[in-house]
Chain A
Amino acid sequence: MNRHSFLESTIQGFTRAVSKALQSEHAASQPGLLQQLDPRVRVIGILTLVVSVVICRRLEAIAAILLVAIAIAFAARVSLASLAKRVWLVVLGFTAVIALPALFITPGEPLFTAPALHLSISVQGMRTAVLLVLRVETAATLTTVLVLSTSWTQILKALRSLHLPAEIVTMLAMTHRYVFLLIETANQMFESRRSRTVGVLSGSERRKTTARTAGVLLSKSIELSQEVYLAMLSRGFRGDVRLLTDFRLKPRDYVGLTAFLFTGCLAVWMGR
């Protein structure tokens, strides 16, 4: 193992998170067909489809929703290459590995037997593995299309209009804001530590470095929260949260919402 790899990999993780967030913001501002719909319709519509994927019990119905999800991605101008890289390969690499042993250990009628290895794949095992992978792929595709087509502020406003408590919505908004500030702070701490590290750190030294950095970040976070609190008080905050919800549904939003709900219900009916 590289002597600094724990520093490097954490720094790389931070960079990936920030670049992923920037990619989402960029995609959300594209003039796609999906982006023209009211954010509430997008959030409710795509969540309906995700729920219907989970409810469906037949492969064909889930595959049909996957096709719909790809069509929605087209409408949102999300490239298939980025979906493949960000979702499909990642899910394959994770869920397919988890599903693989199910082929052999799920009891049922044998589909294929390798006598030399004393292994047999059951019909039920094959079906459950494909079902799991397809379901996870489809749900992840839908979620990613939503995340890539809707900015965070729009998602929050949609959640608020769905009657999520105002305090929770405010906390989600504030957390999101400070995540990037704290990523930046932690990144700087790791980079400065790396620049000052000469020679090989022992295992316990590495662990201490990580824990101390986390400790400093914690102290800074608590101080930051006090400053934010004072800033809020000075602007007249008294504990009540009011949020603006200025969305108005246009005729095309109603069409979009109906299409989403109809597709979701149809899929559930087909896949029952």
Chain B
Amino acid sequence: MGEENPVEIDEIMHIPDGYLSPSTCATLYLFAASGWYASLKRIKQLLATRAIPLISVFAAFSFVVMMFNVPLPGGTTGHAVGVGVAAIVLGPWGSILAISIALAIQALFFGDGGITTLGANCFNMAIVGSFTAYVVYRTIAANSNLRSRQRVLAAAVAGYVAINASALVTAVELGIQPMLFHDASGTPLYAPYPLHVAIPAMMIGHLTFAGLAEAVISAGMVSYLQRADLGLLRGVSGLVPPPGTIIPGTIIPGASPEPSRGRLWWAVALLMLFTPLGILAAGTAWGEWSSADLMNPHTREQIAAASGNHAPPSSVPVGIEKLSNLWTAPFPGYAPRFIRNPAFGYLLSAMFGVGFLVLASLLARALGRKWQRGSLRS
């Protein structure tokens, strides 16, 4: 944030207090806390008593690497987060803890980066960054030799993609603020720019400088470790599975990936979070027209535009009219009537919908097991 800062890591990604609403901060603290809990449990299982000194010293290393001025092509310099290397050497769980602790020290000791937004910053950089970097690195590196150029390339792409994924999540968090939190006169109460401004503004800087700085540091360090300290690329005592092992959920050429339930839940959670984005899509959802939409001249124009300029029938088809009275959804238009805010209604409907499906599938599984046991007994 300027000359006075000791740690001038990518400034905008490091959200200060005041840019995010209290409810956004609380939600992201919750996400971050579940990430911290899961990683702490996992790391203690893998490392036992070695976990504390290893993660602490690695966090200190991450903190210092964030201060490095990385020379970029064209004569400028940038700062890296170091999440690429952390994920390669420690694996995603260790990387989450190390980067989070480095960010916490910046906020609590140096006063850089917000305290209410610490959860958001850890979620964006430590959690999203670590997982993205790890999956990209393992996918591209695949079964290649530890000394191969493929691994250097994998590290560069992993760092670049991870920083851009973090930046995108940050931009979405900032961009939904004016839509969700404004006063009666329409004044945005927190970050003032909507998604269509926030996303390009964030991504231009990250697709160029910040992403490049991370790629340079990740690739350079992997290339150095290949010659000087190959052991670290094998992972620190079992933290990262040895090369050649198939990680559930990663796509390795020639191997059929095994879907992992944990990753599925993460994907569902992310999809739920991004449901309000649907509001921003222009036009109508093709094929999801009600009989009222077919009669309204304005929506008729949109339907025609979405259907390759084929005009919809002039009257409502009899079948649609007959069936449309058959069932009224509990959440018409995806939002209960008492909720005025459409985005909140979307999110609530998503949560309700997913909750209902999960409950139904659990019930079906329980019934299935009971039936299986019954048939075994007979």
Name A residues whose Cβ lies closer than 8 Å to a Cβ of B. 1, 5-6, 9-10, 13-14, 16-17, 20-21, 24, 47, 50-51, 53-55, 57, 85-86, 89-91, 93-95, 98-99, 101-102, 105-108, 123-125, 127-129, 131-132, 135-136, 138-140, 143-144, 146-147, 152, 155, 165, 167-168, 170-172, 174-179, 181-183, 186, 203, 206-208, 210-219, 221-222, 224-226, 228-229, 232-233, 237-239, 241
Contact = CB atoms under 8 A, between A and B. Distances in A.
B350 to A, nearest CB: 26
A13 B65 contact: no
A108 B188 CA distance: 11
Contacts of A106: 187-188, 192
Contacts of B229: 215, 218-219
Given A54-B25, A136-B17, A143-B115, A233 B101 contact: no
21 contacts: A13-B7, A14-B67, A21-B109, A91-B1, A98-B12, A108-B186, A123-B185, A125-B192, A152-B109, A172-B105, A175-B102, A203-B73, A207-B71, A207-B72, A212-B220, A212-B224, A214-B85, A215-B225, A215-B228, A221-B60, A225-B54
A90 B232 CA distance: 39
B2 interface: yes
Contact of B220 (A107, A132, A211, A217): A211
Contacts of A165: 40
A218 B225 contact: yes
B193 interface: yes
Given A17-B67, A203-B71, A172 B53 contact: no
A53 to B, nearest CB: 7
B61 A132 contact: no
Contacts of B115: 47, 50, 139, 143
Contact of B56 (A55, A175, A238): A175
B52 A16 contact: no
B296 interface: no
B55 interface: yes
A218 B71 CA distance: 19
A210 B77 CA distance: 11
Contacts of B232: 218-219, 222
A13 B1 contact: no
B116 A50 contact: yes
Contacts of B70: 6, 207, 210
B31 interface: no
Interface of B: 1-8, 11-12, 16-22, 25, 36, 40, 44, 48-61, 63-65, 67-73, 75-77, 82, 85, 89, 97, 101-102, 104-105, 107-111, 114-116, 178, 183, 185-193, 197, 216-217, 219-221, 223-225, 228-229, 232, 236
Given A108-B187, A203-B73, A179 B105 contact: yes
Given A6-B71, A207-B220, A102 B58 contact: no
B217 A211 contact: yes
A24 B194 CA distance: 38
A229 B18 contact: no
Contacts of B53: 174, 225-226, 228-229, 232
A54 B17 contact: yes
Nearest to A58: B183
A186 to B, nearest CB: 5
B240 to A, nearest CB: 13
A144 B109 CA distance: 9
Contacts of A176: 60, 105, 109
A179 B60 contact: yes
A238 B190 CA distance: 47
Given A175-B59, A215-B225, A219-B229, A132 B69 contact: no
Given A128-B189, A217-B65, A222-B232, A16 B55 contact: no
A15 to B, nearest CB: 9
Contacts of B49: 229, 232-233, 237-239
B152 to A, nearest CB: 10
